[in-house]
């Protein structure tokens, strides 16, 4: 490891008395150097502006104490971003103006900023636009880099998904937890104290009303940061021991104390909990078309038999929903552009029984109703009653991308020349 990088410690004192410098800062403040990363300069003004962004977007109080707590983490983040951008540049990864516009729109939406109001928001918060755009651009470049170099190397096989499905099915009746996370990595043991102090401050502010999701988006280094730290629903024992033990002691809405985990220090939020019960078959959805041949309620049986015979003839002559819809139109039953969609529970007992068992694309036997003779066809039915395999695949992919992303960045740090000037 490079000697200068080995000496890199987050326990820096220059930020202890730092104050946010307004956009009209003096030239000498703007030009003071905080660090040099492979010849790229990070100024103290860059650090101060990034602190302002973090404070404005996470709801932390803009106080001297807050700045002192988050300053080291901010500089670390800027160094990491410089390394990420340099690697993206080396691989000729470009961030287009369209990428930027779409990202800004997402920032506006996640921060309840009116569409097109991003620049005004920055002005109100006394944040230099170039500082905000630099952070957004760096994030986009890194995600593009991962999409090109990391994600194609990951294969989530059916066996891995089957293992998760088996575990879920074997834990029916067990309480599941919806979990949010903020991960603060500790790469250098010398930094552990400062990072724990930051974690304690974040916990204090979240318990005081700061939004957990916003804090996670700005501070967490997990892959879930982009979605506010949302891990999703997990079963007991799926996470690290310290987290598993803590989860059972939290109530929905509560936030843990900082926890020592394998990658650093974590803060956990229990968003909710539920019993992992078998799926309700009645919650399955079906898309239906119908044919109705009118017969008066008190019509003689001979008239009913004629319509029953006609209905059987139509049902036996069609194959699939397109032919069925055309035949229904020809016989006086108007058809919507798309089949009607219902949950099985929303149908009466007779229709529910038919819709749950007839093959998709096959007409039912005629049903005698008050208004006449009815024939149903199921155009689509939600037959997957177990865990959603696509969701499982995406969760496993996110976990592996997270691990490989941190490993990639760790290797960049080890190979980098970082000269701290503060």
Q: In the chain, where are the structural domains located? A: 3-151, 173-277, 281-381
Cα(170)–Cα(362) distance, integer angstroms = 35
DSSP designation for 38: T
What is the rounded distance in angstroms from the CA atom of residue 180 to the CA atom of residue 225? Answer: 10
| CB of 381 closer than 8 Å to CB of 286 | yes
Q: Architecture of 173-277 per CATH?
A: Roll (3.10)
**Strands ordered across the beta sheet of 285-294:** 340-343, 285-294, 372-381, 367-369
pTM: 0.62
Over the chain (422 residues), the average pLDDT of each successive run of 10 is 30 28 43 87 89 78 80 86 94 94 86 86 84 88 94 92 82 84 86 86 88 87 83 83 91 94 92 77 85 91 93 93 93 91 88 90 92 92 69 85 88 90 76
262, 239 in Cβ contact below 8 A? no
pLDDT of residue 411: 93
What's CA 197's distance to the chain center, in Å? 27
DSSP 159-216: HHHHHHHHHHHTTTTSEEEEEEEEEEE-SSGGGHHHHHHHHHHHHHHHHTT--HHHHH
Let me know if the fold of 173-277 is the same as that of 281-381.
yes
Q: At what angle do helices 97-110 and 129-149 cross, to 10 degrees?
A: 110
For domain 3-151, the CATH architecture is: Orthogonal Bundle (1.10)
pLDDT at 9 (0 to 100): 26
Residue 279, pLDDT score: 62
Distance of CA 86 to the CA centre of its chain: 27
Q: How many CB atoms lie within 10 A of CB 13?
A: 10
pLDDT for residue 251: 93
Question: Could you give the CA distance from residue 197 to residue 265 in angstroms, rounded to a whole number?
Answer: 10
How far from 178 is each of 32, 136, 184, CA to CA, in Å? 45, 28, 20
Of 284, 282, 249, nearest to 268 (Cα)? 249
Burial class, 116, CB count within 10 angstroms (exposed 0-12 / middle 13-18 / buried 19+): exposed
**DSSP letter for each residue of 80-125:** HHHHHHHHHHHTT----HHHHHHHHHHHHHHTTPPTT-HHHHHHHT
Task: Give CATH for domain 281-381.
Answer: 3.10.50.40
Q: Cα dist. 323→123, 315, 316, 319, 391 in Å?
A: 61, 10, 11, 6, 34
Look at residue 16 in the predicted model and tell me its pLDDT.
27
CA distance 372 to 369: 5
Write phi, then psi, for 91 (nearest 5 degrees). -90, 10
Query: Residue 416 has which token pair?
Result: 């980098």
């Amino acid at each position: 490891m490079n000697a200068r990088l080995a000496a890199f410690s987050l326990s820096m004192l220059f930020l202890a008395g730092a104050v946010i410098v307004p956009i009209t800062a003096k030239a000498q403040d703007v030009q003071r150097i905080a660090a040099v990363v492979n010849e790229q300069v990070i100024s103290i003004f860059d650090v101060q502006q990034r602190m302002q962004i973090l404070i404005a977007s996470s709801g932390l109080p803009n106080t001297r104490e807050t700045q002192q707590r988050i300053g080291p983490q901010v500089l670390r983040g800027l160094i990491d971003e410089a390394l990420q951008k340099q690697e993206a540049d080396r691989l000729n990864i470009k961030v287009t103006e369209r990428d930027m516009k779409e990202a800004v729109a997402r920032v506006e939406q996640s921060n309840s900023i009116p569409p097109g109001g991003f620049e005004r928001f920055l002005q109100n918060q006394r944040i230099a636009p170039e500082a905000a755009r630099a952070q957004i651009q760096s994030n986009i470049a890194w995600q593009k880099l991962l999409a090109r170099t990391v994600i194609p190397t990951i294969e989530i096989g059916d066996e891995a998904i089957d293992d998760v499905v088996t575990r879920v099915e074997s834990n029916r009746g067990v309480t599941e937890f919806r979990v949010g996370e903020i991960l603060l990595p500790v790469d250098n043991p010398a930094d552990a104290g400062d990072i724990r102090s930051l974690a304690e401050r974040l916990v204090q502010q979240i318990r005081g009303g700061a939004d957990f999701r916003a804090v996670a988006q700005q501070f967490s280094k997990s892959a879930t940061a982009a979605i506010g730290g949302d891990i999703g629903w997990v079963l007991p024992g799926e996470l690290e021991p310290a987290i598993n033990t803590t989860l059972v002691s939290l109530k929905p809405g509560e936030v843990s104390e900082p926890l020592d985990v394998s990658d650093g220090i974590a803060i956990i939020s229990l968003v909710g909990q539920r019993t992992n019960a078998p799926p309700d078959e009645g919650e399955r959805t079906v898309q239906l078309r119908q044919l109705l041949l009118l017969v008066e309620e008190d019509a003689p049986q001979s008239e009913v038999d004629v319509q029953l015979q006609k209905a059987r003839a139509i049902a036996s002559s069609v194959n699939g929903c397109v032919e069925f819809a055309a035949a229904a139109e020809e016989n006086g039953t108007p058809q919507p552009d798309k089949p009607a969609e219902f949950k099985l529970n929303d149908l009466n007992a007779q229709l529910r029984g038919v819709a749950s068992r007839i093959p998709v694309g096959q007409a039912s036997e005629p049903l005698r109703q008050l208004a006449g003779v009815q024939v149903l066809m199921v155009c689509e039915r939600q037959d997957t009653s177990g865990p959603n395999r696509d969701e499982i695949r995406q969760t496993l992919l996110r976990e592996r991308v997270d691990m490989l992303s941190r490993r990639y960045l760790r290797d960049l740090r080890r190979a980098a020349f970082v000269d701290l000037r503060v």
